[in-house]
Structure 1
Amino acid sequence: MNFEFLIFELYKELSMNYPKFIRYTKKHIPFVSLLILILGIWSCKTSLSKPSELTDWIPQNSSWVIQINDVNSVANELTNNEVFKELKNLNPEVTSNLAELLSKTPDTKSLLCVTKIGKNSGALTHIYNSQLDSTLINGPSIDYSKVKINIEKRVSGTLYSAYISGFTLRSTSQLLIENCIRKSQQNNISNANSLFNTVYATLDLNAPINILVQPQAEELMETMLEELPLMPKISQDWNAYDLNFESNVFSLDGLIAIQDSLGDPLAIIKENQAKKIILDQLVPESSSAFLSITLNNAIETEDAFKQWILQKNIALNQISLKAISTVDEIGWIKLGSETILLFHSQNETQAQEQLLPNLDDPKEYREVPYYAIKLPEDILVFAEAIGEKVTPNWGTIIDNFIVFAPSEESIKTIISSYKDGSTLGKNLIYNTFKEDLVSSNSIYWIAQTKKLIDLWKNKEEKRNPWSKLDSEKYPFIAFQGAVENNFMHLHFRIHENELEVKRNDVSNQYLLQLDAALSGPPQWLKNHRTKGMDVLAQDINNTLYLFSDKGNLYWKKKLSGQIQGAVQQVDLYKNKRLQMAFRTENIFYVLDRNGKVVKPFSIKVPATEPIHPLSVFDYDQRRDYRFVVTQGKSLIMYNSKGKRVNGFNFKKTKTTILNSPVHIRIDKKDYIAVQEESGKLNLLNRVGKTRVKVKEQISFSGTQVSSYLKTFITSDKSGNLVQVDTKGNVIRTNLELANGHKIASTTKSLVSLSENNLNIKGIPITLPFGSYTPPKIYYINNIIYVTTTDLDAQKVYLFFSNGTPVSGFPVYGTSAADLTNSDADKAVELAVQSESNGMLIYEIN
């Protein structure tokens, strides 16, 4: 196998990034090893009969040693294995031409080593027990200590190779070749330490590939691999892994030695027996990563922790783990940018007394009390030593779980996810994935590939080759460890999701907080910059807030009063940059994307009761807008420049206008529908003259006029559906609707809600008795959805047009919900009010 291309390409990466190549390997060994394998051994054919002889040639200060045992298996799997087909694309610029460029390597077993040289560079060396290819021997060369060093010039750099005592060494570094020549002549070849030999002896030579890694010597190349949240701290010295292939699985199985005398954090937990983890029952589906460590030997753990404190020379006023003496599992959850700490105890009462001793001034969320807390310093240091640093400010107890979080938002997310059943423990795909993992663990790490990819995408300064990984096909990655004596067995897994079902149901994604209680339900608005959607809401202090679909606050703005009805978006300048149009009690506003007033649209209007929402008409979809303000018995129309439209000649109504006027288009004709309290329905043309004279009065129930099957529809106080055709004829259909009923329609769909009876396109659905918001119809991704909220039970219902409830519903919510597809994926998002000053964003798959 010819490694020229591999060596040069990786040499460029190492030379540019070696100062960054040291910090993360300790946390990300399986990933780093995987990348080296893919980039360095693709279509490889290599051999080794006496591994100990090959290891004698490992350059000093090498930190990765990759040994290939089964050439044919490697060549076949790297070509055909489904997981490798995905991972191969992580760096296509390197892998695209490897098969052609690596064709000259002989069929011998080999080692590939990564070696530190000085402070700012690195080198790769390929070692095998065979002569150089004849075409390379005949090229340019130099002599060093009577040994010929062959030189091959490439566009990307230079390769150096030598044949010494039956072994070929090829490297990106001339210095490494010279060092090996010199040491061979001094009979001083071997650089391996005793721990290397100990770990090396555990390798499974029946595995196609073995990997040995020295975490202290190297760090992760950030250009090829990004941050892995909560990845466990697994060793400070040589690690050994065996790579095995299955059809749809990538797996690494390894062994590390626990170093008591070197401050190894694993030494703190090594006396605890591996067991089945259960904290995943509390982990929200919206989390990116989760780490769990099992505990069952409090005395030995505390002694080991004290020893670790001494080795690290950390000053603590006291060292006692009594507070977690009944804890059998400790975990960390990565939720957005926050890290949440959680414990499980079989003795909830005793654990509460130790960890939450002073439960004063509780707050409550969804009937779960939570408290402002301060954990002891030694517990925080312990948590950081074996896992991740946390800064808890709030704590709560949920069944036998104790949760500590930095913010109220994150602790509420934990509560909501658990109550709504949107946790990993309830996720079918996760549980199927978990079935193939080792059941007993000392360390258990799980991450969702989609969340990791989203995390990396947000770091614009870094390229992200992992974004090409199919997160639907490979939704989870796992890393596990189980202590046995002074060693830990390690297992790393990626495998394909083979379930036919989708990652279904609904998950609580984000919790948004306002400074005061909401004055109305949240609303989705289109973001013309991201092409996604944002969330708009107003509080009772008249402050307007705009959030991203990920819950990040863009801005907030104080208004003159409460927004009436929904905000409507317009494109005043016809440049696809959207503005927000609405009215308060006394001002008609248009705001731009940044919350600034678009002049002259801060127009004072009389606060005449009843105050109706602003109407916005766009007759021909040409963005020549007409804005209509209702004032008692009259209508005021403005154009896109904020000027009153003098050509609109509608005179005052005889009785008060009942609802905001509505623009309806039927058969290419425009109609403006104006309802009066007297029961008169005015159907006007664009200039305000009567287009259709309705032949009968209608005792309006209060439902606004809409369009359905080329008719104007509403309902009356007798419970009839009322339709008016374009000739003014009135048709009543007795639907036996109760007082207070609601109707919603599109041009082809009709939905009614009478007491607890919901009817969707003729399909009756009986809901629990309650107080329901008006039904709303949405058409998203070619699917019709209908939603309503029971305000008494605080439950949001969502149905398909055939009356089938969407899986996972009802969910928690305290207002009418708003539905959209807020981003580029196929999932639908739902925004709804939660507690008085909070909002939730759910994702529906």
Structure 2
Amino acid sequence: MKRPEWIFVGVLALVASWFVYNYFSQKNAFKEWDLVPSNAVLVYESESVIDTWNKLVTSEEWKTLEKVDEFVQMNKSLQLLDTLSGGNGQLAYVLNNDNVLISAHVTSQNSFGVMFYIPLKKNGHDAFLNLLINAQKELKFKKKQRVYQGQTIYELGSTNSKLSYIVYKNTLILSKEAFLVEDVVRNIQDGFNNNFRRTYPMLSGNPSFTSDEGNLYVNGKELPLFADSFLSIKSKSYGSTLLAAALFFDLAVNENGLLASGFAFEGKENSLISTFKDQQAVSFNLNNLIPENTAILEHFGSSSLPIWYEEWVRFNKSGKQKEQIDEQTGKTFMGFMGKEMALATLQSVNSENPDKIYIAELSDKEGMYNLLNKMAEGQLKETTDSLYIEGYSGYEIRLIDKRSVLEELFGSSFKGFGSSYYMLYGKYLVIANTAETLRNWIIDIEDDRTWGKSVQMNTFFKDMLTEANYTYVTNLEYSWNLIINGFNESIKNWVTQNSEQIKNFGLVAFQVSNLDNRYYANLNLNYHPRPVSVAENNVIDKATIQLVNPVAIKPKVVRNHTTGAWEILVQDSLNHLMLLGANDEVLWDDSLKAEARGEIYQLDYYKNNKLQYLIHSDSSIYLIDRNGDNVANYPIRFNYKINQVYLIDYDRSKRYRILVSDYFGNLRMYDQEGHILEGWSPNAFKTSLADDIFHIRVRGNDRIVVPLANGKVYLTNRRGESAKGFPLDLGMDITTQVFFEPGDRFDDSQFVTVSKDGLVGRFTMTGKMLSRNQLFKESSQSTFELVQESQGKDFIFIRNDLGRLAILT
């Protein structure tokens, strides 16, 4: 044979032998993984599933989970199965030391089903048969069988439940959903050509620990539909957003919760992770700009956000929604960007239109500011409105009205900004959907109420990736009402029933980090049980100070402007005013010669970041520095009895106004030097006030809210003049607080109050009465009260029935 001929024959023999080997190896190397249908959305894998369960039962988390019915029933069922299989660890013998798989599948728009794949080892068949016999005997199960595509499907049923199962090549496959077992049969008959592993080959061979709590494999294409099965119709995405083609997680449980680490994989379709291709991850440096009451945060980081933006546009335009994005303006916008940006949804009363903040690092803040200013100024050509500019705390807030700039540039993922209020903060751009949200953000930053100052959040971030391209965080303490309203009714009922247990896993984070186009993924479910009650013997005295005389007023916690530490201002029964330090010491003690009344305020009189205390008695106002000395020309004495004192700083500029009421319905306003102001000398309402007066601001307009006991409410401007539509007669007595829910405009900014008899009144800043509704009275003695939460963000109604209290929301 000539040399070319034997080379050809040799090559042909090698190829033929490879095909023969591959054919027979596939037939003989059957694995339980071959059985899993490709439509599985989640697959859990464990080589010691019983050991993992036993570890969970003895963990800290079980103290919470054992109060959830489903976990209790699961534990009882496993104990029963162990008994029925003969005891002595027979169940653990069957289920441990081999790959047990559990897959989840979407079964309808509002439900999902679970399937188990259990390898039966050498004596596994005997243990399983023993279990079946005992189950039929003890649980009154009836056994049926039917043939489906040549495979016998067995059904075990009782009055309350039914299981379908098959045994294929020594592997038990069972589910409560018969058609899921039929999916496996079809997979078998198809020669395993369309199973999970073949559809997602990238999920094979990933490194994992043998001593962990198993592995989780995620079908990214089915994940949005799986999420939709939990959601109400209006909240469903219908598979419009693809996070990744597939994900793999190695699971670990410790006292801090569940930590899942692994990889995310690209597919043929564009996905969120593919927008970070060829880009490096960056550090999260916005901690000190994220408010403590952030409910949901999405953080985007890239070594080149302009490049990311091009991929982001391609991702959104190729999706099912076919987003309309202003790409040209977007590229200009992104050209001024640094390396990170974040979208924060804040704790909000209105779950339909929550407060939102967008924060972005800038590389060219002048360029960005000019771009946004041109957008704002461009609107003036089409309207008769004037340019909105509001000064607050030294910053300039501007407005692009009735236009969601972020949604125009990024698509519906950034919706929720009906108008765009924006400002520069150092090298950062900040955009909010209302001016109130932006003002509150400034206050939170200046008062150090941020993630960067939160011990809980700093501890939580220690278990997260130090550098990431995408970070998602939700804090259930603040996002609860936002999330729960998105569920369908059955899920909402279950979540509500188990709310206390769920909230113990209150922080959830997901991250993706690109390293050489290999995407590392991290999922963190933080376990931080909330104390239900604190036993008296567990309270530890941090400091104890023995006073000579009894305390006469409620102690006021104040800030030491030098160290930032908290101190306590208190007055005793002999009118001695004292400042108490944290180290068992009285910093100073001075006689006020009068009883302090009402609220004690801290202010910066000299605008030098040194704080003083504003205190009032029944006839004088005092301003005292932290050394106990009077400031300027204080105290200021009056020839009338003081009812209330309210401190106003309209724009946080430290140009204070002091509003004082007497017992005859007169209001007087003074500047911080004690000079009475025009329009307030006095402003006479001729009847007693119902509740505390307070200041509000909407669209740069300041209003003083004055509720009167006779049921009338006044809104006045800074000069004391009544606003249009006021006074408003509510037609009901006002004996409790008036709650204000700010909107973007006067007509969508609302007030709520309740009468002693339970009549709820709602009205707007324009003086329009929206509704009067009667709360349910259990008896003629029922009385009602509106109580605001500590930060004034929400409220509840309390009904008092002769000492028995009920909370109404």
Q: TM-score, normalised by structure 2?
A: 0.55
2:519 alignment partner, SS class: strand
Match of residue 255, structure 1, among 263, 269, 276? 263
**Equivalent of 1:467 in 499, 503, 506:** 499
The aligned counterpart of 1:694 is none
Question: Which amino acid is the alignment partner of residue 452 of structure 1?
Answer: S
Amino acid at match of 1:80: T
Aligned to 1:150, what secondary structure does the other structure show? strand
Contact 1:115 1:124 in 2 (8 A): yes
Of 395, 403, 413, the match for 2:422: 395
Shift of 1:457: 6.9
Quote the residue 2:350 is aligned against: none
Q: Closer, same or farther in 2 for the Cα pair 1:84/1:137, shift >3 Å?
A: closer
Structure 1 CA distance, aligned partners of 2:186 and 2:341? 52
Match of 2:154, as an amino acid?
N
Matched, 1:66 2:44: yes
Matched, 1:334 2:345: yes
Amino acid at match of 1:322: T
Query: Which residue of 1 is the match for residue 249 of structure 2?
Result: 241
Q: String of CA shifts for 1:166-198, please: whole Å, max 9, x gaps.
A: 111112233333443455355346523655111
When residues 195 and 235 of structure 1 are mapped into structure 2, their CA distance, relative to the original with a 3 A threshold, is farther
Provide the C-alpha distance between the structure 1 equivalents of 2:73 and 2:228, rounded to a whole number of angstroms: 15
Within the candidate set 18, 23, 33, 1:55 is matched to 33
Q: Structure 1 pair 148/341, CA: closer, same or farther in 2 (3 Å)?
A: same
For the residue of structure 2 that corresponds to 1:62, the secondary structure is coil
Q: CA deviation at 1:418?
A: 0.8
8 Å contact from structure 1 (residues 442, 483) kept in 2: yes
Helix, strand or coil at the partner of 1:321? helix
**Deviation digits for residues 505-527 of structure 1 (CA, Å, limit 9, x no counterpart):** xxxxxxxxxxxxxxxxxxxxxxx
Q: Does residue 214 of structure 1 match 2:219?
A: yes
Secondary structure at the residue paired with 2:164?
strand
1:245-303 per-residue CA deviation (whole Å, 9 max, x = no partner) reads 334331111322134x5232333333331111122211111221222111331452243
Query: Measured at CA, do residues 466 and 452 of structure 1 come closer, stay the same or move farther in structure 2, by a change above 3 Å?
Result: farther
Partners of 1:394 and 1:171 in 2: CA distance: 53
Corresponding residue of 2:519: 488
DSSP-derived class of the 2:361 partner: strand
Per-residue CA distance 1:468-515 (angstroms, 9 max, x = gap): 2385x7553322211234442111113456999x9xxxxxxxxxxxxx
Name the CA distance, whole Å, in 2 between partners of 1:440 and 1:831: 48
Instruction: Kindly report which structure 2 residues correspond to 1:537-576, keeping only aligned pairs within 5 A, or say none.
Output: none
Paired with 2:522 and 2:258, the residues of 1 have a C-alpha distance of 11
Match 1:369 to one of 396, 405, 408: 396
C-alpha spacing 1:233/1:89, structure 2 compared with 1 (3 Å): farther
1:479 has 2:510 as partner: yes
Question: Could you tell me how far apart the structure 2 residues matched to 1:429 and 1:280 are?
Answer: 12
SS of match in other structure, 2:42: strand
Identity value in percent? 13
Residues in 2 aligned to 1:831 and 1:457: alpha-carbon distance in whole angstroms? 34
The aligned residue for residue 272 of structure 1 is: 279
Tell me, yes or no, if structure 1 residue 404 matches structure 2 residue 431: yes
Mapping 1:146-165, distance limit 5 Å? 147-165=151-169
1:87 and 1:293 map into 2 onto residues whose CA distance is 34
**Mapped partners of 2:232, 2:33: distance in 1:** 28
Q: By how many angstroms is 1:462 displaced?
A: 3.7
Q: Is the 8 A contact 1:268 1:308 kept in 2?
A: yes
Partner secondary structure for residue 288 of structure 1: strand
Distance 1:458 1:185 in 2: 44
- Matched position secondary structure for 1:176: helix
Q: 1:299 to 1:194 in 2, by over 3 A?
A: farther
Distance 1:817 1:222, change over 3 A: farther
Q: Structure 1 residues 298, 235: CA separation in 2 closer, same or farther (over 3 Å shift)?
A: closer
| Pairing 1:434–2:469 present | no
Alignment of 1:163-242 (within 5 A): 163-181=167-185, 183-185=187-189, 187-188=191-192, 190-192=194-196, 194=198, 196-202=200-206, 204=208, 206=210, 207-217=212-222, 218-220=225-227, 235-242=243-250
Match for residue 60 of structure 2? 82
Structure 2: runs of 5+ lacking an equivalent:
1-27, 86-90, 137-142, 348-353, 378-386, 534-547, 554-568, 616-624, 628-648, 661-691, 705-739, 741-787, 793-809
The aligned runs of 1:738-817 (5 Å cut-off) are 749-751=573-575, 775-776=596-597, 787-790=600-603, 792=605
Local SS of the residue matching 1:278: coil
Task: Tell me, in whole angstroms, the C-alpha distance in 1 between the residues paired with 2:182 and 2:130.
Answer: 22
Distance in 2 separating the partners of 1:767 and 1:323: 58
Is 1:444 aligned to 2:471, yes or no? yes
Corresponding residue SS for 1:322: helix
Query: In the aligned structure 1, how far is the partner of 2:588 from the partner of 2:500?
Result: 46
Q: Equivalent residues in 2 for 1:692-771 (5 A)?
A: 749-751=573-575
Question: CA, structure 1 residues 101+368, in 2 after alignment: closer, same or farther (shift >3 Å)?
Answer: farther
Q: Distance in 2 between matches of 1:177 and 1:380?
A: 44
Instruction: Give the SS at the match of 2:311.
Output: helix
Structure 1 gap segments, 5+ residues each: 1-49, 503-707, 714-742, 778-785, 806-810, 819-829
Distance 1:416 1:182, change over 3 A: closer
Q: Given that residues 137 and 150 in structure 1 are in contact (C-alpha distance below 8 angstroms), is that contact kept between their aligned partners in structure 2? A: no
**Rounded Cα–Cα distance in structure 2 between residues aligned with 1:759 and 1:239:** 56
The residue correspondences of 1:275-286 to structure 2 (distance < 5 A) are: 275-286=282-293
Matched, 1:134 2:151: no
Match of 1:321 in 2: 331
**Partners of 1:223 and 1:143 in 2: how far apart?**
33
Range with bigger deviation, 412-421 or 160-169: 160-169
1:284–1:423 CA contact under 8 A, matched in 2 = yes
Contact 1:199–1:239 (8 Å) recurs in 2: yes
Match of 2:365 in 1: 348
Q: Secondary structure at the match of 1:469?
A: helix
Give me the whole-angstrom Cα distance separating, in 2, the residues matched to 1:324 and 1:432. 33
Instruction: Letter of the 2:298 partner, please give it.
Output: L
Deviates more, 1:148-157 or 1:87-96: 87-96
Note the aligned Cα RMSD (angstroms).
5.0
Structure 1 contact 340–390 (Cα < 8 Å) conserved = no
> Structure 2: how far apart are the matches of 1:324 and 1:314?
18
Distance 1:181 1:304, change over 3 A: closer
Residue pair 1:161, 1:171 contacting (<8 A) in 2 also: yes
Paired residues of 1:67 and 1:111 also in contact (CA < 8 A)? yes
- Preserved CA contact (<8 Å) 1:453 1:467: no
Tell me how far 1:219 sits from its aligned partner.
2.1
Deviation at 1:381, TM superposition (A): 4.3
For residues 425 and 837 of structure 1, do their structure 2 counterparts lie closer, same or farther at Cα, with a shift above 3 Å needed? farther
Aligned to 1:115: 105
Deviations 1:122-146 (A, max 9, x none): 4321112114511455552314166
**3-state secondary structure, aligned to 2:459:** helix
Could you give the per-residue CA deviations for residues 63-102 of structure 1, whole angstroms, max 9, x where no partner exists?
2211113336513421222235434544456446344244
